Amino acid sequence: MLHLIKSSHVLEEALLLCTASDAIVLLEEAVYAATSVHPLQSLLPKQGVYVLHGDVLARGLESRLSTNVAIVDYHQLVDLTVEHSPSLTWS
């Protein structure tokens, strides 16, 4: 399953439902949780976590991202949705 998370407010709840084979994409405001100083960053799995490049750039977070997070563009996001179908969006 692919979890598309748009807000850090729902991150903890979403992580409770994630399995080891799931992928997580942090979008919009949720990309802040991928920074090494964010309190929720320690809850993220060590692999299978992605952030959308445009959202990271828009917030100036390129240099603050945790090392266990992969940056993806829109084409890669489409690939993730195919690979990890179905998907669930958290707002």
CATH code of residue 43: 3.40.1260.10
Please give the tally of structural domains in the chain: 1
Q: What share of the chain is helix, strand, coil (3-state, %, to 5)?
A: 45, 25, 35
Confidence band for 17, pLDDT divided at 50, 70 and 90: very high
pLDDT at 46: 86
Quote the domain boundaries for residue 16: 2-90
Are 69 and 48 spatial neighbours (Cβ–Cβ below 8 Å)?
Answer: no
pLDDT, one tens digit per residue, over 36-90 is: 999 888 889 888 999 999 999 999 999 999 999 999 999 999 999 999 999 999 9
Helix (H) or strand (E) holding 56: helix 53-58
Q: How far apart are CA 70 and CA 82, in angstroms?
A: 17
pLDDT at 13: 94
pTM for the full predicted model: 0.93
